[in-house]
Amino acid sequence: LRICSPGRARRTNASRRACLVARFGDIYAQERLDAETLLRTYISDVEMVQRIIYIAAVESFHAAKMAYRQFKIRVRETLSLGHSGPESLEDTVLDYIVRHEDLYDVQASVNEVIRSMNINPKISFPPEIDFIVISTLIRELCRVAFSMQTLAPPLDIAFGTDGELYSETKYHRSFDSDFTAALVAYHVWPALMENDVVIAKGEAVTKR
């Protein structure tokens, strides 16, 4: 019997996970605020600015996960033709993706996110401006989200809806929240999840 040794991707899983969780936190602290500052030069409504950024984050994860699935299918089809071990095909595929993440066409995902945002009924933008102004934030989120799919288990963001019951375990309240309100008016930043467990809290606004 041939024993399948864990691939490089699995051996480095813990360190890569720690780096990606930290990077997600950095994006919240830096790129998100930069995007907010930029948007507020065009839009005076703070709620709309925060909604735009939250939806950009959600759409970035969606686009990156779709791109990862398609990328993985192509890699598996190519490598299966000559695969002989000692690692399993799945481990070989994962190792290849981790080593060649630079082949991910992040710009295609950015374009997809902007397309989705342009037709989202919850957000609006002055007609003379384009969501491309926050493409730096979108690009960084897509990169992180794509890399998070190579982890075992993969990381994802929590699904959030306006009007949902506020969860202390998932979110911090924004400073301008009504701290006695039980429902989320809107989300500022998504929570990061691993197998339905919160890894990093998001941010939400609660109002009566």
CA dihedral 67, 69, 73, 75 (to 10 degrees): 60
Phi–psi pair at 54, nearest 5 degrees: -60, -45
CB atoms under 10 Å from CB of 87, counted, come to: 20
Task: Give the pLDDT confidence of 155-191 residue by residue, as tens digits.
Answer: 999 999 999 999 999 999 999 989 999 999 999 999 9
Confidence of residue 102 (pLDDT cuts 50, 70, 90): confident
- Return the closest-CA partner of residue 194 out of 126, 142, 148: 148
Task: Give the pLDDT confidence of 58-101 residue by residue, as tens digits.
Answer: 999 999 999 999 999 888 888 777 766 667 767 777 787 788 88
The answer to whether residues 71 and 79 touch, using CB atoms and an 8 Å cutoff, is no
DSSP secondary structure letter of residue 150: T
pTM for the structure as a whole: 0.90
CA 172 to CA 177: how far, in whole Å?
10
CB atoms under 10 Å from CB of 46, counted, come to: 14
Give percent of the chain above pLDDT 70: 92
Place of tokens 């299966």: 80
